[in-house]
């Protein structure tokens, strides 16, 4: 029972409102996570992090700030962590995955904004997220209209730098993104007072690549016929990867992957034989959004892969480590980040290719295409996703949901029927 | 179903609380060394008093005697052990 009250007070948090979250989180975590049997031992690390979620990492960040480091809060997998790390800065994810924060966001945003944006803004304005309080700067990106406007609201309180994302993938768009990365490096240098040098950037590229490789090892273990880890445990690892120190993250993920590899050798599975394998694709699942994984995994199926920002998009493709000039490195970063296939691009056929490829690699029985309510770009792209999957003979179910509990039973009925249909 | 629910309700859980997570992680390590079952869990808010969020060790009814004996023998530091009916219900479908 570490006492973080003083730290939260110093951060100017609304303790009373925040306590309501402390009230519900242990129950939800118990129901979703601790109800599982035979989990990998290595998950103890992530259980620990959740137990101290608004305490232990914020305390580390504050300590780092006392030593002169700057903290950059980010919202999206397109923002290159490497640049921040090269300037001795720290990247952290920000709160945005709970209904708890949504009403706060609705005070200033239209109701028909996606829950992720409403929750993020609510967490900031209601002063109930330590990460939003700690960050010296928020780094946004123009991946959707809702976020663009939300950044303007957030910028009234805290410095915000917005990276202008290309919306197409032509040669000139690659040039534009390389230029945006270079400009971002200048902003990071300005705030940290540290120069981004080719040596430092190369070191940072290696750090983040190692983290990607470690996350991928855990995902690769989910390709096994006998699943050594549940989808929700893998999701938790992925969600916390956005907040943790990248070196420690890689170390813990590698440790978990070692255990999973051993489980595969020993034929240990956390699901009964014949459990249907599901690929989830769509909008991100920010912590503590565990709803869909829990419903799927209590309906006779297992989630084996997430083609999401909180999934394969976060770790697939490495940055070329051989470049020795900043220009070459910015280009290498551009090439890697532009390989991500977000629905903000037009066209975005690469995502369809990814989904079909992943469906084969992870030997899935079916795909669930999930969209957060009011995310029009993913919702619209669902038309192509579902058509392509049908053409490939892969069963698909399209779902639109938010963070509320009210549709849980309805979703369960639909998912159970889908799983049953998979034979 | 009703019988199941009743028996599930009767099952007791034990939460070992700590003054800080260093003590908690130390005991977690000791219990693992001794092959005793426990899991790191967020402490239910209802048993934390004025203290803030933090880790506890969750021990099942059948394992608590061995754990108590081990704590005693290894002189492990902890704050208290709280007994409560099992709060975990995967069918509740209430998220946060």
CA distance B64 to chain A (A): 17
Asked if residue B14 is part of any domain, the answer here is yes
What ipTM describes this predicted complex? 0.91
Is B93 an 8 Å CB contact of chain A? yes
Question: What stretches in chain A show pLDDT beneath 70?
Answer: 1-2
User: What's the confidence (pLDDT) of residue A316?
Assistant: 98
Is B11 an 8 Å CB contact of chain A? no
Q: Which residue has the tokens 């999934």?
A: A311
Asked if residue B92 is part of any domain, the answer here is no
Q: Residue B67: give the domain boundaries.
A: 2-85
Contact A305, A358 (CB under 8 A): yes
Alpha-carbon gap, residue A245 to A71, rounded angstroms: 12
Tally of helices (H runs) and strands (E runs) in chain A: 19, 8
- Closest by CA to A373, choosing from A125, A152, A32, A118, is A118
Asked if residue B48 is part of any domain, the answer here is yes
Within A31-141, strands assigned E span: 71-74, 90-92, 137-141
Using alpha carbons only, give the angle A115, A46, A6 rounded to the nearest 5 degrees.
Answer: 75
Asked if residue B90 is part of any domain, the answer here is no
Furthest-apart CA atoms within chain A: distance in Å:
60
Q: Is the pTM of this model over 0.95?
A: yes
User: What's the confidence (pLDDT) of residue A423?
Assistant: 82
Give the chain B residue nearest A51 (alpha carbons).
B42
Asked if residue B96 is part of any domain, the answer here is no
User: What's the confidence (pLDDT) of residue B52?
Assistant: 55
Question: CATH number of the domain that B74 lies in?
Answer: 3.30.70.790
B1 has a pLDDT exceeding 50: no
CA distance A26 to chain B (A): 5
Peptide bond between residue B32 and the one before it cis (omega within 30 degrees of 0): no
With the C-alpha atoms ordered A169, A175, A178, A180, is the resulting torsion angle positive or negative? negative
Which of A22, A30, A48 lies at the smallest CB-CB distance from B53? A22
User: What's the confidence (pLDDT) of residue A1?
Assistant: 45
Alpha-carbon gap, residue B92 to A115, rounded angstroms: 22
Distance of CA A406 to CAs A105, A267, A383, A409, Å?
A: 19, 38, 26, 8
Give the tens place of pLDDT for each residue, B25-83.
Answer: 999 999 999 999 999 999 998 888 665 558 999 999 999 999 999 999 999 999 999 99
Alpha-carbon gap, residue A118 to A146, rounded angstroms: 9
Spell out which residues of chain B touch residue A22, defining contact as CB-CB under 8 Å.
Answer: 45, 52-53
């Amino acid at each position: 029972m570490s006492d973080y009250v003083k730290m939260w007070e110093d951060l100017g948090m609304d303790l009373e409102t925040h306590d309501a979250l402390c009230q519900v989180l242990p129950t939800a975590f118990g129901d979703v996570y601790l109800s599982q049997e035979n989990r990998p031992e290595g998950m103890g690390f992530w259980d620990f992090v959740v137990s101290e979620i608004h305490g232990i990492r914020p305390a580390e960040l504050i300590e780092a700030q006392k030593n002169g480091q700057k903290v950059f809060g980010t919202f999206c997998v397109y923002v290159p962590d490497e640049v921040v790390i090269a300037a001795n800065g720290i990247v952290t994810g920000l709160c945005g995955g709970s209904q708890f924060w949504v009403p706060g966001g609705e005070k200033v945003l239209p109701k028909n904004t996606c829950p992720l944006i409403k929750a993020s803004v609510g967490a900031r304005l209601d002063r109930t997220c330590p990460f939003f309080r700690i960050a010296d700067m928020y780094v946004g990106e123009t991946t959707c209209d809702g976020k663009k406007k939300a950044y303007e609201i957030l910028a009234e309180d805290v410095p915000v730098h917005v990276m202008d994302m290309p919306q197409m993938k032509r040669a000139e768009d690659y040039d534009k993104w390389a230029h945006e990365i270079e400009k971002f490096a200048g902003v990071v240098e300005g705030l940290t007072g540290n120069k981004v040098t080719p040596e430092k950037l190369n070191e940072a590229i290696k750090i983040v690549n190692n983290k990607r490789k470690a996350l991928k090892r855990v995902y690769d273990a989910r390709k096994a016929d006998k699943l050594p880890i549940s989808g929700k445990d893998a999701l938790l690892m992925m969600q916390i990867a956005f907040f943790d120190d990248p070196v420690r993250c890689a170390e813990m993920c590698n440790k978990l992957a070692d255990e999973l590899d051993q489980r595969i050798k020993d034929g240990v599975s956390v699901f009964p034989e014949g459990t249907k394998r599901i690929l989830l694709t769509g909008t991100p699942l920010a912590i503590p959004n565990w709803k869909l994984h829990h419903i799927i995994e209590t309906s006779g199926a297992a989630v084996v892969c997430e083609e999401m920002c909180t999934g394969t998009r976060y770790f697939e493709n490495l940055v070329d480590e051989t470049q020795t000039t900043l220009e070459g490195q910015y280009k290498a970063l551009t090439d890697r980040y532009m390989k991500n296939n977000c629905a903000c691009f037009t066209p975005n056929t690469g995502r369809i290719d990814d989904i079909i490829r992943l469906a084969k690699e992870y030997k899935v029985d079916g795909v669930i295409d999930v969209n957060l309510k009011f995310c029009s770009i993913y919702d619209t792209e669902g038309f192509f996703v579902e058509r392509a999957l049908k053409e490939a003979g892969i069963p698909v179910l399209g779902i639109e949901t938010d963070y509320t509990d009210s549709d849980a039973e309805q979703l369960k009925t639909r998912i159970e029927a889908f799983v049953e249909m998979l034979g | 179903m009703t019988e199941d629910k009743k028996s599930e309700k009767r099952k007791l859980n034990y939460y070992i609380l700590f003054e800080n997570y260093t003590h908690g992680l130390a005991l977690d390590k000791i219990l693992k060394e001794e092959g005793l079952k426990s899991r790191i869990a967020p402490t239910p808010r209802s048993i934390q008093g004025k203290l803030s969020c933090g880790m506890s060790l969750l021990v099942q009814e059948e394992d608590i005697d061995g754990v108590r004996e081990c704590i005693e023998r290894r002189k492990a530091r902890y704050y208290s052990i709280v007994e409560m009916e099992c709060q975990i219900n995967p069918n509740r479908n209430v998220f946060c």
